[in-house]
Structure 1
Amino acid sequence: MPISNPHELRLAVRSGQFTGHTSGHCRGFVQGNVVILPESWAGEFLRFCQLNPKPCPLIAVSDAGQYSLPSLGTELDIRSDVPCYRVFEEGRLVDEPVDITAYWRQDLVTFVLGCSFSFEEALLTDGLEIRNISEGVNVPMYRTSIPCRSSGRFGGNMVVSMRPFKAADAIRAIQVCTRFPSMHGAPIHLGDPAQIGVGQLEKPDYGNSVTVHADETPLFWACGVTPQVALEQARPPLCITHSPGSMLVTDLLNSQLAIM
């Protein structure tokens, strides 16, 4: 059964009772991608986000060493409230823990970025099917040939998430998501995946494949996994992110970030 209360979900994550993907849980509440960097790298990454707002829409930035984010949630602890983390050293994935207390340092800065899981709620409310939710899997994500704007040591190509729709529903999905620029906004591409450097849809780079029917068009949204590609290339001495699909669930309402 989906968990509806964000604080309850974070407590379940913290206790180890919940370790799965967060899509479909806490409908109506903002979910966020997480990037944690040493303070000496944070300025360049902040600028990277500002230059690339579609894949990297900033929701919050912490002070160095701050692991509570009171503006995002009651008793939120960034060290333990994400279902699964990825720890990188010099660009190499070295660990995928469920708690990062052992890695925590006083110079670490946390960035929380908007996530497409948040706009999924708006699409469901509008009566549209979200295939990854109906099939019970993580959303498929793909590396593309679309370059991001660089900031110092940070650069690389965009990652996108994909959801298929029939033509009329695709138009409605674009209209709905345009209201949520802090959650990646409208799709950046629809139709032929080869035009953005994506190969076979059934072989995503992250997440799981979903069914795409013959009368459906794939829609591609800028994805918050994009910073992980930039981080792999920048190779900071330490970087911690969420694991794809395992988001930070906040107490913010999606409606608070919508453009009416």
Structure 2
Amino acid sequence: MKKVMIPEEGPDSSTSLARVVHPLNPVATVDELVKSLIAAGSITHVKKKRAVYAEGKAATAVFYILKGKVKTCKWNEEGKELITGLYQVGDFIGFDALMDGARYRDTAVVIEEAAFIEIARADFDFLFRYNNSFLRKFVDILTGNIAEKQEQMLRMAYSPLRKKVAEALLHTYRKYNPNNLQEFSIDISRYNLAALAGVARESLIRTLSDLRDENFIDIRNGKIVIPDTRKLEQLIYSNKKPAAQANE
């Protein structure tokens, strides 16, 4: 099974929200919480390819990403990796397991040097007790994550290879380019893109070459550019059967 480098010590949790926010005057928004913890020096830096938390470990904290990119992933018995989520600045990771008091369900690994704010379980309980808007926000995030992972499972189970790759490309594009900037290039390794699509790396590379030849994507200096996302959407959502199959 593939091994992941786990820090010998987890992110520093010595700074508790209880010492930052008075219990009779809890912060009102996530932005206020982040600013309070930054002011208290509660920032952890993690290098690329290092793990933030590991699958199966007790969920003791939630992490807010201040800088960098993170993937959550799992491995099967043969050591094949499956990426279950991509995250960047402004995202929370690890809260789904924390909310039900369980263990982390996957492993979070840094794919671009990152900085985090760690929010301990006791602090989360405090915020939920005194501020219902926090609870509503995280329920909304959790609901969105569940729906996204359900779609991913369906794609990997039923979609043909081209659609799997196209959906992984579009998902990555939308995740890392929320403002829909033109000529945005996707900076993700072929290994990670294959793990997100749930396909072999060799199959991914062949499919990317085909999509480039058909003008769905462009590849510049190793980075993937999607000139027109609508073409990929048509590929993904088209239900047209191949001619040979339609004539059966």
Greater Rg over alpha carbons, structure: 2
The structure with the largest helix share of the pair is 2
Do both share a fold (TM > 0.5)? no
Q: TM-score by structure 1 length?
A: 0.24
Higher RCO structure (Cα 8 Å, ≥6 apart): 1
Q: TM-score by structure 2 length?
A: 0.24
